């Protein structure tokens, strides 16, 4: 694995107000991902795609160093085999995998997640599974929740409440598209569960066959700041609805991978 390049020092003050604060005990969710100019996060379903420049890759690990946990869906694990650790400042971050049908158990022993755990460079994952997928003797730490019987989806509020009960106070969500798009939707109360949004945009097009990030409804981003690197740009902001124009979606705030 290639070493990280030095972090551009002007990224530290730029990111500061979009990251969880140590003096605040409130639960904090950061949604962050890298995309192309045409809003794609990969060339196609199941295709591992490098988008970020090395300096924004380092930025990702810097952001990880400010969170207790990093969350992705099982499809991202199956496609990319990510390590989901932090290589900035030797910070321990807990991988959280949204995996209702518990597919991870079939590939965990040959995954980078397992390799990092064995080598002491990453924490063991916590896998969010449906109660009906519980299997004894799997050797993987699980968080068992109920899915909505009508939709087959977990509630984000249920997930984050359960994580908080386990002592986790901040979560960095990285993907994939199903997870990201579900968090770009408001819950039944019309509110978002995401506290901050950090998006890296690379000057590339991945094409119409790529996996797209695009919310089902329009939404606005406020409190916006931009950073320009050697190649990529980074947009930070907070999600807000356009007052009086967007109605709350009854199915918002749920995720199924």
Domain of 104, CATH number, reads 3.40.430.10
CB proximity list for 21: less than 8 A, separation 6 or greater: none
Residue 243 has pLDDT above 70, yes or no: no
pLDDT confidence bin for 253, thresholds 50/70/90: low
Question: What are 5-45's pLDDT values in tens digits?
Answer: 999 999 999 999 999 998 888 999 999 999 999 999 999 99
Backbone dihedral region of 84: left (phi > 0), alpha (psi from -120 to 50 degrees) or beta? left
pLDDT tens across 114-126, in order? 999 999 999 999 9
Record the pTM.
0.91
Q: Would 255 be classed as within a structural domain?
A: no
Domain count within the chain: 1
Tell whether 161 is covered by a domain.
Answer: yes
Instruction: Indicate the length of the chain as a whole number.
Output: 257
Of the candidate ranges 57-66, 126-135, 192-201, 207-216, the one whose mean pLDDT is the lowest: 126-135
Whole-number pLDDT of residue 5: 97
In a domain, 18, yes or no: no
Decide if 2 is inside a domain: no
Predicted confidence band at 137 (pLDDT cuts at 50, 70, 90)?
Answer: low
Residue 8 in any domain: the answer is no
Check: CB of residue 198 under 8 Å from CB of residue 31.
yes
> Is 202 within the bounds of a domain?
yes
Q: Domain range holding 179?
A: 25-250
Q: Dig out the tokens for 109 from the structure.
A: 């022993």
| Domain annotation covers residue 7 | no
Instruction: With a cut of 60, say whether residue 249 has pLDDT above it.
Output: no
In a domain, 4, yes or no: no
């Amino acid at each position: 694995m290639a070493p990280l390049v030095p972090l551009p020092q002007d990224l530290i003050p730029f990111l500061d107000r979009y990251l969880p604060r140590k003096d605040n005990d409130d639960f904090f969710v950061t949604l962050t991902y890298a995309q192309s100019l045409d809003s794609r996060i990969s060339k196609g379903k199941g295709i591992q795609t490098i988008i970020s420049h090395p300096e924004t890759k380092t930025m990702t690990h810097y952001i990880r160093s400010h969170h207790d946990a990093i969350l992705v869906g099982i499809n991202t694990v199956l496609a990319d085999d990510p390590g989901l650790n932090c290589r900035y400042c030797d910070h321990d971050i807990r991988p959280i995998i949204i995996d209702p049908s518990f597919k991870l158990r079939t590939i965990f022993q040959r995954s980078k997640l397992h390799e990092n755990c064995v080598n002491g460079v990453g924490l063991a994952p916590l896998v969010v599974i449906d109660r009906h997928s519980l299997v004894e003797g799997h050797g993987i730490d699980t968080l068992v929740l109920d899915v909505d019987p009508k939709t087959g989806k977990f509630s984000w509020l249920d997930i984050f409440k359960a994580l908080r009960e386990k002592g986790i106070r901040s979560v960095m969500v990285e993907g994939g598209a199903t997870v990201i798009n579900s968090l770009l939707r408001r819950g039944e109360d019309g509110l978002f569960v995401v506290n901050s949004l950090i998006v890296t945009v690379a000057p590339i097009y991945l094409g119409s066959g790529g996996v797209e990030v695009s919310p089902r409804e329009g939404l606005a981003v406020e409190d916006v700041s931009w950073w320009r690197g050697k190649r990529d740009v980074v947009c930070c902001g907070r999600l807000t609805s356009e007052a009086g124009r967007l109605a709350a979606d009854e199915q918002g705030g749920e995720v199924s991978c």
